[in-house]
Structure 1
C-alpha cells in the first residue's frame, strides 16, 4: 500500500495484539484531506488503541497505516510532527497562564523561535483568549480551557488534528461553540479525526467509522448508517443505530 495525495489517513488490515488479546482486529479505512471524520465505539472497543497507533505511540502488530503520507511503523516521529492531539482530559498546566502554556508548547513542538511571536498572536486571536492571556489557567471557565488546549495543539500548524472526546464534561452551549470552531478549522483544510460519545455531535461528521470489540461494524455518512441499520424506522436517530450495532439488534425496536 502506498500513500495517496487526497488521503490524510490510510489504514489497511491494522491489528494490535496484547498477548492473546486482540484489541484491534485487522481494520481498514481512509480519511480524506480536510474531512471531519468520526471514530465511534463503546469503551473498550479499540478506539484509543487505534489512535495511539495512528499517532506513532504504539507499534502495530500487523497491517499498514499512513498518516499525512508518513508510515506509522517506520516513521512514527515524523508522524508526531505532522499531527496535533487533544486528549479528553485537560492536559495543560493550570498554574500557568494561557500565555505561558502557549510558550511552553511552542518549545515542545520545536516551532522555530523566529515564529513564536506570530504563532502566539495567531492562537490567542483564534481562541479568543487575548484578554485573559495573563490569568491563571485554572481560573478560566471549562470551555475556555478547552479552547486553549485546542489552540496549543495547533501551534505547529499540523495537517491532521486528533481530538479524543474534546467536549466531554462541558455544557451544551460550549459544545456548540466548540463545533463551530472545529468546522472552521476543517474549512481551512485541516483534517479532523474525532472521537465522541455524543451522537448529536457525530452528526456533524462527514463520515463515521463505528468500532465494536476491535472490529469495524459500520463505515459511512451518519445519514446512510441510520438508513441502513434502521430501515423500517424513519424516526430513528444515530443513537438508535449505534445501540443496534453494538447490541446486534438491528431493524425494528424490541
Structure 2
C-alpha cells in the first residue's frame, strides 16, 4: 500500500509552503524527500499524516483518502516527527507500553518487528527518555512508531543532529523494515542519504525539482565537474567566481566543485588564471557528479 500526492498546495498567509506537489510512492518502496530546511518537507508530512489540511489537491495513504478516511489512516501509519516528541519523563519501556496501549496492542504482540532495534536500547529500558543520547532517542522513537505494525512509515528528518555511526545504523534498520513489507517515506537535508533510497524527490521552496532514482538524477547532470584545490580556500572561491567563464562554483569539502560555460574547457588556462591570483599548490581534476551537485544545478 503506497502513497499518492496530487497537486497539493499549502500556504501560511503570504508564504507558499507547498506549490502543486505531485508524486507517488509505490508499495514497499523506500522513497526520499530531499531538500533543505524550509523546503516544505514537514508541512507535506503533516498533511499526509492527517495533522494538517491542504488548501488544494488530494492525497491517499495506504489507499485511504487523507480527508475522508483520516481516522482510519491513523491506525495504519507510523509517524516519527523531526523533533523528539516522546514523553521525556517516562522510561524507554514506559513509552513503548504507552504507545502500544494507545493502539490496542502490546510490545510482545509485535516484538518481531521492533526486535532488531529494541535489543540495542533494551539495556537502558529503565532510563528516562529525556536522559538518552540522540541516537538512542531516535531508536526509541522508531520503535514507538512501529509498535502497532503500520503499513506506511513516515520519518521526518530522522537523523538530524545524530552522530555518523548512528545515522549509518538507522539506514540499515530502514532497509530491514522495507524487507518486512513496510512502505517508507523519509525526508532528509543530507544529500548523501539520498543515495540510500529507491527513488527520491528533490524539493526546494515548496516545489518539486525532479523525481527519479538517485543514479538517474546524477547521470542527467549536464556538465563536467572539476575538483579544484589550492593553498587558500577563501581566495580560491572568490577567484573562481570572478572567472568570466564559470558556470558554477561550490565548496565541497577540501575542494571546490567547478563547472565551465564552454564545451572545450582547458584546465591549464584556468590554472594560469589562478596563478595570477597568487594561489599556490593548484590542482584541477575531473570528478563525478553527486546528488548535491544535481540539486544545486536544478535549484539555480
Q: Distance in 1 between matches of 2:144 and 2:124?
A: 15
Q: Distance in 2 between matches of 1:245 and 1:140?
A: 39
8 Å CA contact 2:60–2:66 kept in 1: the answer is: yes
**Which consecutive unaligned segments of at least 5 residues does structure 1 have?**
1-6, 249-254
Q: Normalised by the size of structure 2, how large is the TM-score?
A: 0.74
Map of 2:44 onto structure 1: 50
Question: Which fold has the larger relative contact order, with Cα–Cα distance below 8 Å and residues 6 or more apart in sequence?
Answer: 1
Shift of 1:198: 1.2
Match of 2:217 among 222, 225, 242: 225
Larger Rg: 2
Shift of 1:20: 4.5
CA RMSD of aligned residues (A): 1.9
SS class of match (2:189): coil
Assess, with a 3 A threshold, how the Cα gap between structure 1 residues 111 and 223 changes in structure 2: closer, same or farther: same
Question: Which shows bigger deviation, 231-240 or 59-68?
Answer: 231-240
Map of 1:118 onto structure 2: 109
1:93 and 2:87 equivalent?
yes
Matching of residues 173-252 of structure 1 within 5 Å: 173-233=165-225, 235-246=288-299, 248=300
Question: Which shows bigger deviation, 229-238 or 189-198?
Answer: 229-238
Shift of 1:137: 2.7
Matching of residues 37-186 of structure 1 within 5 Å: 37-108=31-102, 110-112=103-105, 115-119=106-110, 123=114, 126-128=117-119, 129-186=121-178
8 Å CA contact 2:32–2:197 kept in 1: the answer is: yes
8 Å CA contact 1:163–1:193 kept in 2: the answer is: yes
Q: Distance in 2 between matches of 1:105 and 1:15?
A: 32
Residues 30-57 of structure 1: CA deviation (Å, up to 9, x unaligned): 0011111000122222211111111111
Assess, with a 3 A threshold, how the Cα gap between structure 1 residues 18 and 171 changes in structure 2: closer, same or farther: closer
8 Å CA contact 1:103–1:120 kept in 2: the answer is: no
Shift of 1:68: 0.5
Report runs of 4+ in structure 1 exceeding 6 Å deviation: none
**Which consecutive unaligned segments of at least 5 residues does structure 2 have?**
226-286
Q: Aligned pair count?
A: 238
8 Å CA contact 1:102–1:120 kept in 2: the answer is: no
8 Å CA contact 2:118–2:140 kept in 1: the answer is: yes
